[in-house]
Amino acid sequence: MRVAVISESFLPTLNGVTTSVVQLLEHLAANGHEAIVIVPAAGSPRRYAGFPVHEVAAVAYRQFPVGLPNTQVSALLADFSPDVCHVASPFLLGAQSIAAANRLGIPSVAIYQTDISGYARRNRLAVVSDFAWRVVRWIHEGADLTLAPSSTAIAALRAAGVPRLELWGRGVDIDTYHPRRRIAPEARELRARLAPNGEVLLGYVGRVAPEKRLDRLAELRGVPGIRIAVVGDGPARPGLERSLAHLPIEFLGALGGERLANAYASFDVFVHTGTEETFGQTLQEAHASGLPIVSPRAGGPIDLVDPGVDGLLYDPGEDGALREAVLALVARRELRERMGEAGRRRVLGRSWDALCEQLLDHYRSVIAHRALELAR
């Protein structure tokens, strides 16, 4: 199969969109498929997994490159002649790619990954929210299929009038993120530094940005016997370091690879605070690492956490709800261990290979449908 992968985000930028695209490219390469990659200019590698990476003109917005429409996209697609276009988190570049694919008779699969309504709610922009959803509908209705990562995202897209929707989650590296890392020297050393007196270590992993609502951690002031570690970086970090200075907290910055896996292994409980996740990849990584999860009852985490089995979901609109959930786990080591084991079992069937094969089945479906339409 020949796949053109168009993504609004790619290396060196690290986020959920980049992660899923990288995993897809590695799966395509390992299984003998052909691909090209088209991304906004941001210093990306010239090749990835053996496939050429083409950068197009972009402008920077809030530290992210935004690809601009240009004639290069149509030329690249026409020259490569793919069987299908994979369009990750489409915006300007993605919209142009979907339109170009339609002109060339190439089916496209769009991957929805951004909570537009949540962003607008947080910024009290009702008018902008309505306009943003119209833009989302306009972009996605041109695609042969839109894949969304959670039931919440599917419902929001359906309410906005986006047609042809299917559920497609995300995979997780169940070998890298594994409970056995707890006995690795690096993880034990990190834990000894972060919780030197055997405290229960609460961990967060993700972007340190306003929408992640890490300010909610202030509820944990005075909870005895805990330490908190925040892995990640972003524009809200300086302000949070000041406002949460009264907590036993340490900001570790952005980590990746083995260092990130060891950080998960050093935690006792994974604490999530944001309500705008269309999925929640870090929750899957925490489950794979054998951790119980405390998360708001909102967005993607609703599909990822079974309350009382592998974690706890709290009401983000209720004062003290996060604190109450954390207290329930801090007080009971056996409950943490039981939930952590259940979380690990929950993700065992969600390897990236399994999820990428599901994605290829979606490709085959839209290719067959297009062929049937042409035959009529």
C-alpha 143 chain-centroid distance: 21
CB 56 within 8 A of CB 37: no
CATH code that applies to domain 2-171+351-375: 3.40.50.2000
The amino acid at 208: V
| Confidence check: pLDDT of 36 > 90 | yes
User: What residues does 4 pair with on adjacent strands?
Assistant: 36, 85
Q: What is the mean pLDDT of residues 337-344?
A: 98
| Confidence check: pLDDT of 121 > 60 | no
Q: Please tell me the pTM assigned to this model.
A: 0.86
| Confidence check: pLDDT of 298 > 60 | yes
Residue linked to tokens 């609502």: 213
* pLDDT > 70: percent of the chain: 95
Domains 2-171+351-375 and 179-347 share a fold: yes
| Confidence check: pLDDT of 128 > 70 | no
CB 94 within 8 A of CB 102: no
CB 311 within 8 A of CB 295: yes
CB 328 within 8 A of CB 322: no
Taking phi over 0 as left and psi of -120 to 50 as alpha, with beta for the rest, 313 belongs to beta
CB 97 within 8 A of CB 85: yes
| HSE-CB of 246 using CA atoms within 13 angstroms | 9
| Confidence check: pLDDT of 126 > 70 | no
| Confidence check: pLDDT of 222 > 60 | yes
Q: What is the mean pLDDT of residues 24-39?
A: 98
Taking phi over 0 as left and psi of -120 to 50 as alpha, with beta for the rest, 225 belongs to left
The pLDDT, as a whole number, for residue 63 is: 59
Nearest-5° Cα angle at 73, 71 to 75: 75
| Confidence check: pLDDT of 142 > 90 | yes
The pLDDT, as a whole number, for residue 132 is: 81
What three-state secondary structure class fits 41? coil
Q: What is the mean pLDDT of residues 338-364?
A: 97
CATH code that applies to domain 179-347: 3.40.50.2000
User: What residues does 59 pair with on adjacent strands?
Assistant: 66
| Confidence check: pLDDT of 125 > 70 | no
Token output for 297: 């009852």
| Confidence check: pLDDT of 177 > 80 | yes
Token output for 343: 């979380």
Q: CB within 8 A of 75, min separation 6: which ones? A: none
Mind listing the pLDDT tens digit for each residue in 249-263? 999 999 999 999 999
Q: What is the mean pLDDT of residues 41-61?
A: 92
What residue ranges do the domains of the chain occupy? 2-171+351-375, 179-347
Q: What is the mean pLDDT of residues 90-105?
A: 95
CB atoms within 10 A of CB 358: 15
Mean pLDDT over all residues of the chain?
Answer: 93
Integer Cα distance of 197 and 175 in angstroms: 30
The amino acid at 327: L
The model's confidence at residue 11, banded by pLDDT at 50, 70 and 90, is very high
The pLDDT, as a whole number, for residue 101 is: 97
Q: What is the mean pLDDT of residues 221-227?
A: 97
| Confidence check: pLDDT of 58 > 80 | yes
User: Please, what is the end-to-end C-alpha distance for the chain in angstroms?
Assistant: 24
